[in-house]
């Protein structure tokens, strides 16, 4: 029955990450991430000094060995990494798309001065449009 | 000034050298302003389209059909004469006379958007599988966007300038069709929603368009792009 604790924790972690995937993220999310990183580093040093802390922690949530707990945590963390990368790539894609679009438009004469439209102004357009579709 | 000077045909173009010449020529027979947004084709598509009389904007790299459409929007918006914008597929599956009918519809002035639908009459003959997939896609789109359409993934649309000005397509790949519907569904003009209507169009399925068309696998991609956007 104690297993339920770790199951709930892992499911909650997975859901939280999925939620972040759908929700926005900004300064707050970044701050939370940085605080998490600091806490992680502190805990890492603690667990180096006292390796049994993982096992004690694992027992608390219903997992036998500390190594297993680390593995479970890693799986969830990896999922989080995938999600973050996905979002980051998506943002980058939007940015370089805008850049490429700007370049493409800059290289093309605007509609008011495009040779294709000017040259075919009256005469050629009349020739290529024997019937006005509107009439 | 011709009456079609207020309309721009926007065609995203990617590796359609085989057919693009004919598609542009037939469009140019009725419309003066045709723009092909070449999305980094590796064949001669862009040059052929230019020779056939289209304005060609070239993406420096391949970005996707949605990105090409948005580039076409941005270009056409530079033309102060533009009132109506037509999105048109470059592979030859759409008919110019359908565009003419859709333009006549929007010119009546009571709607801002005319969507083409291949399911309003029986001229288009998609395979049973394609029909099922498209039906599923439109059901999902209607559910999530609050619109009521019969065919959400049809590349043939006529948009009023005021709508084009507010569209911002960020889905570079296939999900842009649903994104356009979603943005139009969410758009408000003085607190009223955009008025739209569907017109029956004939989508011509040839061996060429079938080979170029979307595989069933791509449906999975579209759904994924829709959910995680």
Neighbours of B57 (CB within 10 A): 24
Bigger pLDDT: B4 vs B72: B72
Q: Per the structure block, which two tokens stand in for B31? A: 């419309």
- Residue tagged 């994924």 (tokens): B224
User: Which of B63, B64, B158, B224 is most worth mutating to test chain A (most A CB atoms within 10 A of its CB)?
Assistant: B63
Q: What is the pLDDT along chain A (135 residues), one digit of tens a residue?
A: 567 787 788 888 878 877 765 565 677 777 877 888 888 888 888 888 888 888 898 888 888 888 898 898 899 888 888 888 888 898 899 999 999 999 999 999 999 888 888 765 443 444 444 444 443
Question: By residue range, what is the domain housing residue B100?
Answer: 3-227
pLDDT given at position A120: 52
pLDDT given at position A22: 59
Of A101-105, B12-16, B126-130, which range is least confident?
Answer: B126-130
Could A104 and B170 be called an inter-chain contact, meaning their C-beta atoms sit closer than 8 Å?
A: no
- Overall average pLDDT of the B26-49 stretch: 95
The number of C-alpha atoms within 13 Å of A11 and in the hemisphere containing its C-beta is 6
Q: Per the structure block, which two tokens stand in for B151? A: 């065919």
Write the CB contacts of B38 (distance below 8 Å, at least 6 apart in sequence): B13, B14, B45, B46, B49, B56, B57, B58, B59, B68
Could A21 and B228 be called an inter-chain contact, meaning their C-beta atoms sit closer than 8 Å?
A: yes
Chain A residues with beta carbon closer than 8 angstroms to that of B63: 97, 100-101
pLDDT given at position A79: 87
pLDDT given at position A123: 39
Could A94 and B170 be called an inter-chain contact, meaning their C-beta atoms sit closer than 8 Å?
A: yes
Residue B200 has pLDDT above 90, yes or no: yes
Nearest to B53 among A105, A128, A132 (CB): A128
DSSP string over A19-66:
HHHHS---HHHHHHHHHHHHHHHHHHHHHHH-THHHHHHHHHHT-S-H
Beta bridge partner(s), residue B9? B34, B86
The distance from CA B102 to its chain's CA centroid, rounded to whole angstroms, is 13
Write the CB contacts of B56 (distance below 8 Å, at least 6 apart in sequence): A108, B13, B35, B36, B37, B38, B46, B49, B50
pLDDT given at position B207: 80
Share of chain B above pLDDT 90, in %: 64
pLDDT given at position A130: 43
pLDDT given at position A109: 93
Of A30-44, A48-62, B23-37, B64-78, which range is least confident?
Answer: A30-44
User: Which of A24, A100, A106, A120 is most worth mutating to test chain B (most B CB atoms within 10 A of its CB)?
Assistant: A100
- Helix (H) or strand (E) holding A115, with range, is helix A115-119
Bigger pLDDT: B152 vs A91: A91
Write the CB contacts of B148 (distance below 8 Å, at least 6 apart in sequence): B142
User: Min CA distance, B167 vs chain A (Å)?
Assistant: 14
- Residue A106's nearest CA partner among B197, B75, B226, B156 is B75
- Overall average pLDDT of the B43-48 stretch: 95
In total, how many domains does chain B have? Answer: 1
Pairing of strands B84-87, B157-160: antiparallel
Name the residue in chain A with its Cα closest to that of B228: A22
- Residue B66's nearest CA partner among B132, B153, B147, B146 is B153
Q: Does residue B187 contact residue B214 with C-beta atoms inside 8 Å?
A: no
Name the residue in chain A with its Cα closest to that of B3: A134
Chain B residues with beta carbon closer than 8 angstroms to that of A116: 50, 53-55
Bigger pLDDT: B62 vs B135: B62
Q: Does residue B55 contact residue A114 with C-beta atoms inside 8 Å?
A: yes
Nearest-angstrom CA–CA distance, B22 and B49? 9
The average confidence (pLDDT) of chain B is 89
The CATH number for B44's domain is 3.90.550.10
Chain B residues with beta carbon closer than 8 angstroms to that of A103: 60
Name the residue in chain B with its Cα closest to that of A115: B55
At B213, the pLDDT band (50, 70, 90 cuts) reads low
This model of the complex carries an ipTM of: 0.86
Write the CB contacts of B140 (distance below 8 Å, at least 6 apart in sequence): B178, B223, B226
Could B30 and A129 be called an inter-chain contact, meaning their C-beta atoms sit closer than 8 Å?
A: yes
- Give the dihedral sign, CA B39/B36/B53/B210: positive
């Amino acid at each position: 029955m104690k297993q339920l604790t770790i199951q709930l924790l892992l499911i909650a972690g997975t859901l939280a990450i999925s939620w972040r995937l759908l929700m926005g993220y900004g300064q707050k999310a970044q701050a939370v991430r940085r605080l998490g990183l600091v806490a992680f580093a502190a805990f890492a040093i603690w667990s180096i000094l006292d390796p049994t802390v993982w096992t004690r922690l694992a027992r608390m949530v219903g997992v036998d060995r500390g190594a297993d707990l680390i593995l479970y945590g890693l799986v969830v963390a990896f999922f989080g990494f995938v999600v973050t990368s996905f979002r980051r790539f998506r943002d980058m894609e939007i940015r370089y798309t805008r850049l490429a679009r700007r370049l493409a438009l800059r290289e093309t004469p605007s509609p008011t001065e495009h040779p294709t439209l000017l040259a075919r102004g009256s005469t050629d357009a009349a020739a290529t449009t024997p019937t006005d579709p509107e009439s | 000034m011709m009456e079609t000077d207020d309309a721009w045909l926007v065609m995203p173009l990617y590796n359609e050298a085989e057919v693009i010449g004919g598609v542009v020529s037939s469009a140019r027979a009725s419309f003066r302003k045709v723009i092909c947004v070449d999305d980094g084709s590796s064949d001669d598509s862009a040059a052929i389209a230019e020779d056939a009389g289209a304005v060609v904007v070239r993406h420096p790299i391949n970005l996707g059909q949605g990105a090409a459409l948005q580039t076409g929007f941005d270009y056409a918006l530079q033309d102060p004469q533009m009132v109506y914008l037509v999105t048109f597929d470059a592979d030859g599956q759409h008919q110019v006379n359908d565009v003419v009918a859709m333009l006549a519809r929007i010119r009546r002035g009571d709607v801002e958007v005319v969507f083409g639908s291949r399911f309003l009459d029986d001229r288009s003959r998609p395979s049973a599988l394609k029909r099922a997939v498209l039906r599923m896609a439109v059901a999902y789109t209607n559910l999530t966007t609050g619109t009521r359409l019969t065919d959400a993934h049809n590349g043939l649309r006529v948009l009023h300038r005021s709508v084009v000005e507010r569209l911002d397509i960020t889905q570079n790949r296939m999900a842009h069709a649903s994104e356009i519907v979603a943005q139009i569904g969410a758009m408000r003009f003085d607190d009223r929603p955009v008025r739209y209507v569907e017109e029956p169009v004939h989508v011509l399925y040839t061996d060429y368009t079938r080979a170029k068309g979307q595989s069933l696998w791509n449906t999975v991609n579209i759904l994924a792009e829709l959910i995680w956007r």
